[in-house]
Structure formats: structure tokens, C-alpha cells
Amino acid sequence: MKRPGAGPAQDPGMDMFAIDRRRLRVTGVDEAGRGPLAGPVAVAAVILDPRRRLRGLDDSKKLTRAQREALYPRIVERALAWHVEMVPVEEIDRLNILHATLEGMRRCILALGPQVELVRIDGNAVPRALPCLAEAVVGGDALEPAIMAASILAKVARDRLMCALHEEHPHYGFDVHKGYPTPAHLAALAAHGPCPHHRRSFAPVREAFARSGEPVPA
């Protein structure tokens, strides 16, 4: 079975239509931070425990910060397994944001080991070379509880990291906009130039280097 995106659904000797996928343990995968001009992209994978129900799960974008923060420790404590992977700026600039995100997803899935049976990924792309069945689910963060949980872990983990980066570079306002291209962030970028945590492959950052007269780092 082939899905749109960077790679096909992986099949290590099994036909997805020849087995009952309802019997397979689902690993939900989602990311946070593809659009920002600064900071890593965070990817999370979660296997929920069907015996330990988690109330309040939803797409992380539909939840308040307080709701996400409250759910984070409950997910971590009740999940059968989970992993958060931070893909650094250097890798984003080297691979581009799509392929860096897919590589982060691949590492996240591999980190959970052989207990992964069926991976469901929010979006329309599946990483290549997975040792398990996998499928892309457009709008999956509103449909699949395991993806919802992954979206919350990724969002909270990345937001916390961006707040920590704010302590290093307070004049950018990373604690408020988390690296997204808000008017305030663009104004700070124009005034102060890029810092090491900015993605130099993104156009506004490259333009900031050009205005400063400094060469874009290789």
C-alpha cells in the first residue's frame, strides 16, 4: 500500500490488507515547529495503554497552554512507551525542513524498538526505511488518540526549549512566539540580526544576513 509523500508505507513481509489492523498496537507520531524561523523541530511518538484511559486528549493546537502542560505528565506516566526527538537547526538547514522532520520521525519510531507494530503519522508523508507498517493520516491529530498524545508531547517539549533559549537570547522574544515569524520576531531579527538558533535556510533569516552584510554561514 503506497501513501503520498516522501515514502511508501513500510511492509516487512506483511500485506496491510491481509491482516486485521485493529489488532495491532498503534504508535502515534506528530511534530511541532516546522514553520518557525528559529529552534529545532520536535517530533514525538507515543504508544497509549488501552487499559489506562486519558481524558482530554485533542489536537495540541486546540488546547490551551495550561491544558497541554497538565496532559504532558499524564501522557508520560500512562503511555506504554513514548519518545521525543529534537531535530537541530543544523540538520534542518542541511536536509530542508520536510526531510529533517521525516528523519526525526524515523528516529523517534526506531527509539521505541520492536514493540512498534503500526505507525500512524499525522500528515501526508511517511519516512522511508521503517521496520514496521506505517501510514500517513491527514488530520490525524484530530482523529487518532495516539497522534493527539504525540502532538501534545512535541508541542510542550518544544515550547519549553524555546523558553530556555529565550534566557540565552532575550531580545528575540522566543518565550512568546516560540520562533514563529510574528511581526515582533521579524522586527527583532531586523534589529539584532540572526543568532545561532535561527534557521539560515529560511528566507527571512537569509535576508537578515544580507541586510547585515555578513555572509550566510555554510
Q: What is the pLDDT of residues 178-192, one digit of tens each?
A: 999 999 999 999 999
Lowest mean pLDDT among 13-22, 40-49, 69-78, 107-116: 13-22
Domain span including residue 191: 170-212
Cα–Cα–Cα angle for 107, 108, 113, nearest 5°? 90
Residue 185 phi/psi, 5-degree rounding, is -70, -45
pLDDT tier for residue 137 given thresholds of 50, 70 and 90: very high
- Do residue 195 and residue 128 come from a single domain? no
pLDDT tier for residue 171 given thresholds of 50, 70 and 90: very high
pTM, whole model, 2 decimals? 0.88
- Residues 6 or more apart whose CB falls under 8 angstroms from that of 161 comprise 39, 40, 42, 86
Say if 89 falls within a structural domain.
Answer: yes
- Residues 6 or more apart whose CB falls under 8 angstroms from that of 159 comprise 32, 65, 178
Least Cα distance to 6 among 129, 152, 145 occurs for: 129
- Say how many domains are in the chain: 2
User: 30: annotated binding-site residue?
Assistant: yes
Residue 81: CATH number of its domain: 3.30.420.10
Q: Report the pLDDT value the prediction gives residue 23, as an integer from 0 to 100.
A: 82
- Do residue 108 and residue 54 come from a single domain? yes
Give the strands of the sheet with 118-122, arranged side by side. 81-87, 41-47, 26-32, 118-122, 133-137
- Beta pairing, strands 81-87 & 118-122: unpaired
Q: Report the pLDDT value the prediction gives residue 104, as an integer from 0 to 100.
A: 98
Whether 153 shows a pLDDT value over 90: the answer reads yes
DSSP assignment letter at 171: G
Q: Is 47 helix (H, G, I), strand (E, B) or coil?
A: strand
Say if 126 falls within a structural domain.
Answer: yes
- Do residue 45 and residue 123 come from a single domain? yes
Lowest mean pLDDT among 8-12, 59-63, 67-71, 108-112: 8-12
- Do residue 198 and residue 116 come from a single domain? no
Q: What is the mean pLDDT of the chain?
A: 90
Whether 200 shows a pLDDT value over 60: the answer reads yes
- Do residue 160 and residue 80 come from a single domain? yes
Residue 81 β-bridge partners? 47
Q: Report the pLDDT value the prediction gives residue 131, as an integer from 0 to 100.
A: 92
- Do residue 207 and residue 117 come from a single domain? no
DSSP assignment letter at 61: G
- Residues 6 or more apart whose CB falls under 8 angstroms from that of 127 comprise 6, 7, 102, 103, 105, 106, 109, 121, 134
- Do residue 109 and residue 196 come from a single domain? no
- Do residue 95 and residue 195 come from a single domain? no
User: 11: annotated binding-site residue?
Assistant: no
pLDDT tier for residue 211 given thresholds of 50, 70 and 90: confident
- Do residue 198 and residue 109 come from a single domain? no
